[in-house]
């Protein structure tokens, strides 16, 4: 073996070792932990380093619903926290739920773990929680990205809302919450000072007029309607929402104006 061959082979083995070490380190960084905040137990998954992003799932779901998004963001260099909302996922179920309690959970979660100015992403109920959080504790987030959120139950499309009321299982406390909450006002939205990307699918359960109202009522609100998608088709274990978020975070366009 010549000296050049030996040098090349050595470099090759060093590269393999480095890649293996990096992969092992990244794998070790992904952890599922439990914390008690606001008198409730919250399971969460954390991965990566860099600027913090908090991911909030929809009603009755878990952080696993956003696993694809979680992986995309942490591989892009963010420190990603995916939470199971109170009484959902791996957390013990509760007899009563309120969006403001969940928002307080996230605020205290940030306080306990010293998470400064996170980006907060919320889908459906998660989006409602993100809005409530920034209304209750202004300046907590550096920006919000919400998908399929509503200000009140009337934000649902009229036909779906009527069907939901007629068929809702009122013995389920999570369903009862959706029948009467949230109750966010336009005046409250106007107090949110961080940039907010407001998203919905073209065929979402939330009416497009309601989604537009949310974006227009936030001083730094921006609207994005995703063509050919419904309430969760571009989110549930889909890479599409991750691509949208990364494009938005790397090339922000929110400057007091609204885009379609």
- Polymer length of the chain: 260
Of 196, 197, 257, 207, which Cα lies nearest the Cα of 231? Answer: 207
- Residue 99 C-beta-side C-alpha neighbours within 13 Å: 33
Domain boundaries, the chain: 31-250
| Cα 7 from Cα 3, distance rounded (Å) | 6
User: Which residues is 226 bridged to in the sheet?
Assistant: 201
| Cα 223 from Cα 213, distance rounded (Å) | 10
- Position 28 scores a pLDDT of 44
Phi-psi region of 117 (alpha: psi -120 to 50; beta: other; left: phi over 0): left
CB 241 within 8 Å of CB 234: yes
Total-model pTM: 0.87
CB 201 within 8 Å of CB 141: no
| Cα 77 from Cα 87, distance rounded (Å) | 30
* Interior/surface letters 93-130, b for 16+ CB within 10 angstroms, e for the rest: eeeebbbbbbbbbbbbbbeebebeebbbbbbbbbbbbb
> With the CA atoms of 47, 50, 56 and 62 taken in that order, what torsion angle do they form, in degrees rounded to the nearest 10?
0
Residue 65: which residues within 8 A CB-CB, separation 6 or more? Answer: 57, 58, 123, 235, 236, 237
- Position 23 scores a pLDDT of 44
Is 31-250 a CATH 2.70.98.10 domain?
no
- Tell me the Cα Rg of the chain: 21
Average pLDDT, 10 consecutive residues per value, the chain (260 residues): 49 43 50 97 97 98 98 97 98 98 98 98 98 98 98 96 93 97 98 98 98 98 98 97 96 50
| Cα 229 from Cα 200, distance rounded (Å) | 8
């Amino acid at each position: 073996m010549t000296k050049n061959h030996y040098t090349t082979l050595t470099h090759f083995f060093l590269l393999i070792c480095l890649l293996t070490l990096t992969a092992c380190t990244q794998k070790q960084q992904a952890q599922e932990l439990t914390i008690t905040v606001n008198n409730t137990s919250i399971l969460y998954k954390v991965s990566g380093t860099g600027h913090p992003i908090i991911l909030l799932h929809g009603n009755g779901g878990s952080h696993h619903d956003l696993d694809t998004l979680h992986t995309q963001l942490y591989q892009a260099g963010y420190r990603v926290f995916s939470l199971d909302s109170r009484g959902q996922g791996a957390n013990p179920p509760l007899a009563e739920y309120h969006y403001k309690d969940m928002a307080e959970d996230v605020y205290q979660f940030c306080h306990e773990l010293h998470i400064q100015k996170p980006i907060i992403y919320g889908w459906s109920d998660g989006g409602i929680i993100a809005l409530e959080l920034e209304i209750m504790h202004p300046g907590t987030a550096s920006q919000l990205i919400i998908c399929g959120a509503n200000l009140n139950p009337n934000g649902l499309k009229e036909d779906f809302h009527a069907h939901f009321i007629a068929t809702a299982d009122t013995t389920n406390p999570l369903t009862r919450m959706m029948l009467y909450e949230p109750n966010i006002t336009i005046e409250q939205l106007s107090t949110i000072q961080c940039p907010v990307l407001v998203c919905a699918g073209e065929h979402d359960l939330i009416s497009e007029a309601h989604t537009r109202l949310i974006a227009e009522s936030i001083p730094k609100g921006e609207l994005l309607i995703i063509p050919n998608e419904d309430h969760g088709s571009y989110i549930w274990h889909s890479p599409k929402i991750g691509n949208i978020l990364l494009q938005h975070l790397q090339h922000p366009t929110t400057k007091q104006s609204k885009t379609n």
